[in-house]
Amino acid sequence: EPEVTQTPSHQVTQMGQEVILRCVPISNHLYFYWYRQILGQKVEFLVSFYNNEISEKSEIFDDQFSVERPDGSNFTLKIRSTKLEDSAMYFCASSDIVSGELFFGEGSRLTVL
């Protein structure tokens, strides 16, 4: 069964460093999403992406965050200068144009020290 894959599974970084989280969505999906889950809290929407542009973003997704699909397969989330409060599990998801069902990856755990 096709699945969304994410790398790295866990990244530890120093505050102020740049981080790139990578996702390979399901191949025929056209809509892509990033969510995050701070430890013990709910899953929060960050951004959705369609047709090579952001379609919606939350207030969490400030200027420190960016997304791109550089090569038609990867979908990346970049945090320009990490803060302690960016420590969370980041989930990528993708969906097709029809069903509205999102398929989630296994997540990338980011720890900012």
Partner 1 sequence: AQSVSQHNHHVILSEAASLELGCNYSYGGTVNLFWYVQYPGQHLQLLLKYFSGDPLVKGIKGFEAEFIKSKFSFNLRKPSVQWSDTAEYFCAVNGAGNTDKLIFGTGTRLQVFP
**Judged by CB under 8 A, which of 48, 75, 77, 79 binds partner 1?**
48
Distance of CA 81 to the CA centre of its chain: 16
Q: Which of 1, 14, 42, 51 binds partner 1 (CB under 8 A)?
A: 42
Q: Is residue 12 involved in binding partner 1 (CB under 8 A)? A: no
Residue 102 Cβ vs partner 1, minimum distance, rounded to whole Å:
5
Tell whether residue 101 is a contact of partner 1 (CB under 8 A).
Answer: yes
Check binding of 27 to partner 1 (CB under 8 A): no
Name the residue nearer to partner 1 (CB basis): 68 or 96.
Answer: 96
* Residues 64/79, Cβ–Cβ less than 8 Å: yes
DSSP the chain: ----EEE-SEEEE-TT--EEEEEE--TT--EEEEEEE-TTS-EEEEEEEETTEEEEE-TT--TTEEEE-TTSS-EEEEESS--GGG-EEEEEEEE-TTT---EE---EEEEE-
**Which of 10-18, 37-45, 60-68, 76-84 is the region at the interface with partner 1 (rule: CB under 8 A)?**
37-45
User: Which chain residues interact with partner 1 by CB under 8 A?
Assistant: 31, 33, 35, 41-45, 48, 50, 56, 91, 93, 95-97, 99-107
